[in-house]
Amino acid sequence: MKGVILAAGKGTRLYPVTKAIPKPILPIANRPTLDYAFDQLKECGVSEVCVVVGENEAVMREALGDRTANGLPLSFVRQVEPKGLAHAVGFAREFVDGEDFILYLGDAIYDRPLKPYVDQFRASGSANLNLVKPVEDPRRFGVANVEEGRIVKLVEKPAEPESNLAMAGMYVFGPQIWDVLPDLQPSGRGEYEITDAIQMLIDRGHFVEAGIYDGEWFDTGTLESFLATSRFLTHSYPVVGEGAEVSCDVHGHVVVGDGAKVTATEIVDSVILPGAVVNVSGAIRGSLLGGEVTSEADLVEAIKFGDLD
C-alpha cells in the first residue's frame, strides 16, 4: 500500500510565520508536522510516500529530501493550481499506479494508531473508507450520513447537518477513485471536492464505509489549534530545545525550539520556533513566533498573530 499526503496549501491562517516556513514542516513539539504523518503511515504498512506540494515545492524538497524521518522512500508531485483536494489527488495517480492507497491531510495529527482502519478497509472489500469522528459542531466539516457502517451521503460544510460525523482527514481508497475523478465538476466555491468524488462513488453503487474514530484529532491550521496540538503532544510541560536560551519566567505550556533566544518579562502558552531571536520588553502570551522579533515593526507584525504585551 502507498501513502499520499496533501501538503500544497499556503497555510494562510498561520501567516506571517508560514510565509517563511511551509505549514507541513512547521515544528510542533520540536518535530516537523509531517513527521507525525510519516509515523502513522509506516505503522499502517505503507511502503512509500508521495507528498503533493504547491508553490512550496522547493522548500519542501530541500527540507524533506528523498526519505521520510523513519526511512520510507519519499517522492513529490506538484499541484499546479490550488483547485481542491480531489484535484490534488489526481496528480498522484502515476505514483499510486493502481494500488490501494491512504490519503492523508498534511495538517492532521491523531493520538491513536490508524492501522485498525486500514485493516478494516482491507477486510471489507470496500472502494473507500473514510475516517469520521463525532463532533459537537459539524458545520465546519464534510459530514457523513452513516447507516450500518455504510456511508450513504456526504455533504460539505452543511448549514443544517443531518449527522454529527465529521470527515476527519484520513481516507483509504481502492482504484475505483480514478474512474470518478475525470467526471468531477467544480463545487460552488470553484474547487474539486474530495467529498463530491466520494459521493460519486456512492452514487455509482460502490461500497463506501465509515471508520468511526473516537480519539483526539487535531487540525493544526490555525493558531488556536496549533497551540492546542503542541500542548497535547508535550503533555503541557515546557520544552526547551538544545542550545536555546530563555531569559524570562516561563508559565503554562511553552515550547522553545533548538537554538532560539528569548528575552521578555515572561512567556506563557507560546511556541518559539528553532533559531528565533525574540527580545521584547513585555510578556509573550498565546503566540507562535519565528525569525527575529526585536523592533517595533516586528512587534506590530507579531501582535497580528499572537499576543505580546
Note the pLDDT tens digit of each residue in 270-283. 999 999 999 988 88
Instruction: Check whether residue 239 and residue 133 sit in a common domain.
Output: no
Which residue type occupies 264? A
Tell me 191's DSSP state: -
For residue 95, the domain's CATH number is: 3.90.550.10
End-to-end CA distance of the chain: 50
**Domain span at residue 195?**
2-223
According to the per-residue pLDDT averaged within each range, which of 10-24, 183-197, 203-217 is highest? 203-217
Asked whether the predicted pLDDT for residue 17 surpasses 80, the reply is no
Report CA Rg, the chain. 20
**Does 105 lie in the same domain as 23?**
yes
Assess if residue 199 is contained within a domain: yes
Q: How many domains does the chain have?
A: 2
H/E segment holding residue 223: helix 223-233
Q: Are 209 and 155 in contact (CB under 8 A)?
A: no
Q: Grade residue 295 by pLDDT with cuts at 50, 70 and 90.
A: low
Q: Is residue 230 part of a domain?
A: no
Range 40-59 average pLDDT:
93
Given 158, 189, 223, which residue is the final one in a domain?
A: 223
Residue 16 confidence (pLDDT) above 80: no
Query: Which residue, 196, 223, 250, sits at the end of a domain?
Result: 223
Instruction: Indicate whether 172 and 277 sit together in one domain.
Output: no
Residues 294 and 213 grouped into a single domain: no
Q: Of 150-154, 232-236, 258-262, 296-300, where does mean pLDDT reach its minimum?
A: 296-300
